[in-house]
Amino acid sequence: MSIGFFDRRSTVAAPNFNRFCVPPAAIAVHLAIGQVYAFSTFNIPLTRLIGLNEAAPGDWNQKQVVWIFSIAIAVLGSSAALFGRWVERVGPRLSMFVAALCFAGGFMVAAIGIRLHALWLLYAGYGVLGGCGLGIGYISPVSTLIKWFPDRPGMATGMAIMGFGGGALIAAPLSVMLMAHFKSVTSNGVLQAFVTMGAIYFLYMMIGVFAVRVPPPEWKPAGWVDSAKPKSLVTTAHVAVKLAWRTPQFWLLWGVLCMNVTAGIGVLGVASPMIQEIFTGRVTAASAAGFVGLISLFNMGGRFFWASISDYIGRRATYMVFFLLGILLYSTVPSIGYGGHIGMFVAAFCIILSMYGGGFATIPAYLRDVFGTMEVGAIHGRLLTAWSVAGVLGPVLISNLRDYQIEHGQPKAQAYSVTMYVMCGMLLIGFLCNLAMRPVDAKYHHRSP
């Protein structure tokens, strides 16, 4: 019986295969789906589909349009949780292909929605269908990378997840260029940009589909022997996903990720107005855009840097650094703001955002340490629901606290101080969750039949 191209068995690597061919396959998928972080570049053009240069009667408003992104992020987390076991079963090639179909299909359905001026098609297309592509694509290479790099799991998954951060850096200027290229007297170019991006991202993700390989069973890097010295949180056993989520360790790590992401995502959402309001008259809108760009770079770089560091100092120690350094930085930011030290303010947020990215990139290796490699991709998928919660919690918290402060007479420049202290509290909860981590009870370990 012949084995199909998408069958897991046809992706088993040949003996002379170079394992460093796998990270680019994973990065290709993550660079594509990372576009979601740059979706805001379409927000204003989508509110001017009729009026073109300015909003006209019948055009959608900002509040309606921002829901497209929110739905996509919520579906990302839920689809990663829902399809995690399927991804583990069918392997990376088929799951990457399905992710490409969903993500590119999301753009195409949304483009039809723009053509018909039907907002629900954008919610269903980019939000739901594209969101499924995001979730499946995000977890599809994780388990494979961990199996290829048992000696450096943090570095390997850090590279892929760095690609997700890098995707926004590519998509933001690409979207602007495409809309400018397709702009005409009858269109602001957003429809054509959607179709083009859907096609480009489909082809780009197919590179990952063709290039990805899984290691043969029991494969190990040449000359590598697992450390004989046992590490407190690193297990040699395996836990199935259906049991993993019933362990306290799963929920402690859920809390670790949720708190770390909430603290960072809230800042990302308001970075531009925040720096302009804290340093009124000294930071222009253009400079604030530069600040957003700079922290995005640190968000991306931190993913590779911190995940790689975690291979040496351990996962728990890495998150301890995130939480303790985060608390220190968040608690000093108000004083830095009052003192008018822009350079220190920018530096503090660059470090904070590097740890935000680092939190995403280090979690797959942490899960591998605690639950083993057997179904780590599926467990990772379920843990990503913490991201969905944080994606709502962070921005809502930071903007509501700011509004509350201003309503109660605080000047705009000082309206973020309480928010920073609340973020410290959230990081403290994350710190306590991380501190409570212990090895999984042996009763949850998988036993071969």
Partner 1 sequence: MKGRLALLWLIVGVPLAWGVFKTLQNAMKLFQ
The single residue among 105, 158, 163, 255 that binds partner 1, judged by CB under 8 A, is 163
Nearer to partner 1, 72 or 212 (CB): 212
Tell me the torsion sign for CA atoms 190, 192, 193, 195.
Answer: positive
318's tokens = 């890495």
CB of 31 to partner 1, least distance (A): 6
C-alpha span between 269 and 324 (Å, rounded):
23
The single residue among 31, 87, 142, 209 that binds partner 1, judged by CB under 8 A, is 31
418 binds partner 1 (CB under 8 A): no
E-assigned strand segments in 88-183: none
**321 in Cβ contact with 272 (< 8 Å):** no
The single residue among 291, 304, 323, 416 that binds partner 1, judged by CB under 8 A, is 291
The single residue among 72, 74, 111, 169 that binds partner 1, judged by CB under 8 A, is 169
Binding residues for partner 1, total number by CB under 8 A: 33
C-alpha span between 158 and 299 (Å, rounded):
12
Per residue, the 3-state secondary structure of 374-437, as one string, reads: CCHHHHHHHHCHHHHHHHHHHHHHHHHHHHHHHHCCCCHHHCCHHHHHHHHHHHHHHHHHHHCC
**407 in Cβ contact with 418 (< 8 Å):** no
Binding mask 346-375 for partner 1 (x = CB under 8 A): x-----------------------------
Nearer to partner 1, 19 or 446 (CB): 19
**136 in Cβ contact with 88 (< 8 Å):** no
One-letter amino acid for residue 436 of the chain:
A
CB of 37 to partner 1, least distance (A): 11
Nearer to partner 1, 15 or 449 (CB): 15
Nearer to partner 1, 5 or 404 (CB): 5
Q: Which region among 75-83, 254-262, 292-300, 392-400 touches partner 1 (by CB under 8 A)? A: 292-300
Q: Which region among 108-116, 161-169, 352-360, 426-434 touches partner 1 (by CB under 8 A)? A: 161-169
DSSP per-residue string spanning 227-268 = -SS--TT--SS-B-HHHHTTSHHHHHHHHHHHHHHHHHHHHH
CB of 15 to partner 1, least distance (A): 11
CB of 315 to partner 1, least distance (A): 26
Nearer to partner 1, 102 or 168 (CB): 168
CB of 293 to partner 1, least distance (A): 4
CA angle 199, 184, 190 (to 5 degrees): 40
The single residue among 293, 339, 411, 425 that binds partner 1, judged by CB under 8 A, is 293
Nearer to partner 1, 38 or 423 (CB): 38
C-alpha span between 239 and 260 (Å, rounded):
25
What part of residues 177-236 is at the interface with partner 1 (CB under 8 A)? 207, 211
Ramachandran bin of 52, using left for φ above 0, alpha for ψ from -120 to 50, beta for the remaining angles: left
Helix axes 342-371, 376-383, angle to 10 degrees: 140
CB of 168 to partner 1, least distance (A): 8
Binding mask 6-25 for partner 1 (x = CB under 8 A): ----------xxx-xx--xx
Nearer to partner 1, 168 or 333 (CB): 168
Helix axes 385-407, 62-90, angle to 10 degrees: 160
The single residue among 12, 13, 101, 170 that binds partner 1, judged by CB under 8 A, is 170
Residue ranges binding partner 1 (CB under 8 A): 16-18, 20-21, 24-25, 27-28, 31, 163, 166, 168-173, 207, 211, 283, 286-291, 293-294, 296-297, 300, 346
